[in-house]
Amino acid sequence: MRLAERRWPTAPTGPEVALLTEVALSRVWTDGPWTAEVERLMEKVTGAPHAVAFNSCTSALHAALHAMGCVRGTPVAVPALTFAGTVTGVSHIGARPIFTDVRPDTLTMVDDFPEADIVLAVDLHGVPHHLGRESVPGRAVLTDACQSLGSTLAGRHVGATGTHAWSFSSAKIVAAPDGGAITTDDADLAGKLRELRDYGVPAGESRSNAGVVWPGGHNWRPTELSMAMVAHRLGGLDHWAARAGAVTGRLHEALDGLGLWRQHAPDTAEPAWHKVRFGPADLDERRTAEMERDLAEAGVPTHRWGRLPLHRHPAFGGLGWPKAPAADAAAAGTLCLGTEASPPMTWNDDEVETVCRILETTIGS
């Protein structure tokens, strides 16, 4: 059992290599048919009426904030426990991040942001957040869904309504060298996004000669090489989402049997689990470190994710204020099984059962 070896992303197949070679030889490397195809497929996958492709999820979030009216000083609510890329756009715009705590069960943001004008929610590790997908009273909601492609809520894809940012980076369930997208049910917003990703010039006009109408625009266009790979790999989404669900379900069963804490999902959600996050029942940091060491000695790799919550990052003040005790506890007292190069969904059934036995013998003892 060699669970630390690289298994993800999967190596390009023969047909993928042939496709990428064809795209390279076409010399149409941006603004081509594969960008349009990814947008069509993302509309089909999520059920959203509009999709706009970007070169990353980070730039997609940045552009979406611009399109939603975020400007310097705008208060934006964001969970303290997430990746820094969630708030990169907030920082570049000069908006004011308001860090909120997370729920101790799902690790998604709490509904407590009285000062915010925009809510930037996160489907952490594929688990849908509890807020409205389109809005909360008086505030627009933008969802960082970089880890939840394939997750469903009440029988529908999480991206069916509202505005969501998606990632196709190498650690994600649909993996390519780079790429991202926005899906939305707002036609006007989609139109603005198409202009913002192309320097802010009006859609269909020459970027070399037209006047910029959006000062926040940038060169956020994706490459045709990445979009071709994304389009090809979207065909495997259902398989990997089902595999992630099945493996995570078995691992959760073992963790529950040991009385450990592990991340939960809302009752009506079926996540395409991006990570299997767990820890001692009391999230004791010392005990977590012991578990990390014992599992490593037994051949089960783990990794930390979000060890330093955003409200403690130097760039955002670094003072741990406002307080986010649940985010702090989860950051210090939890682990994720596997690695980003060898996620549990890539383990075969025998390996999963072996890991369950090791959990029972090392942690149970």
- Residues 267-285, mean pLDDT to the nearest whole number: 98
- Residues 143-168, mean pLDDT to the nearest whole number: 98
Q: Which of 172, 192, 275, 323 is catalytic?
A: 172
Residue spans of the domains in the chain: they are 14-235, 237-363
192 given a catalytic annotation: no
- Specify whether the backbone of 77 is left (phi greater than 0), alpha (psi in -120 to 50) or beta: beta
> 201, 178 in Cβ contact below 8 A?
no
Identify the band that residue 114 occupies on the pLDDT scale cut at 50, 70 and 90: confident
User: pLDDT tens across 176-186, in order?
Assistant: 999 999 999 99
Measured CA to CA, the distance from residue 298 to residue 255 in angstroms comes to 17
Q: Is the pLDDT of residue 361 over 80?
A: yes
**Percent of the chain scored above 70 by pLDDT?**
100
Cβ contacts of 97-102, under 8 Å, gap ≥ 24: 97/310, 97/316, 98/322, 99/309, 99/310, 99/311, 99/316, 99/322, 99/324, 100/322, 100/324, 101/323, 101/324, 101/325, 101/326, 101/327, 102/324, 102/326, 102/327, 102/330
Q: Is the pLDDT of residue 321 over 80?
A: no
- Residues 81-86, mean pLDDT to the nearest whole number: 97
pLDDT at 364: 80
pLDDT, averaged across the chain: 96
- Residues 225-250, mean pLDDT to the nearest whole number: 98
Identify the band that residue 304 occupies on the pLDDT scale cut at 50, 70 and 90: very high
**Token pair listed for 257:** 């049997």
CATH number of the domain located at residue range(s) 14-235 in this protein: 3.40.640.10
**Cα 42 to Cα 132, 184, 201, 217, 218, distances in angstroms:** 21, 10, 24, 23, 22
pLDDT at 319: 73
> 107, 244 in Cβ contact below 8 A?
no
Considering only 32-41, 219-228, 234-243, 319-328, which range has the smallest mean pLDDT? Answer: 319-328
Residue type, 311: H
Q: Is the pLDDT of residue 156 over 90?
A: yes
> 127, 107 in Cβ contact below 8 A?
yes
**Percent of the chain scored above 90 by pLDDT?**
93
Measured CA to CA, the distance from residue 159 to residue 48 in angstroms comes to 6
- Residues 184-195, mean pLDDT to the nearest whole number: 97
Q: Is the pLDDT of residue 174 over 70?
A: yes
pLDDT at 320: 74
**Token pair listed for 144:** 């960082």
**Token pair listed for 133:** 């997908």
Q: Strands 135-136 and 139-144, how do they pair?
A: antiparallel
CATH of 237-363 given 3.40.1400.10, 3.30.365.10, 3.90.1150.10, 3.30.1180.20: 3.90.1150.10
Tokens 């994706």 — which residue?
222
Q: Is the pLDDT of residue 365 over 70?
A: no
Task: Provide φ and ψ at 119, rounded to 5°.
Answer: -110, 120
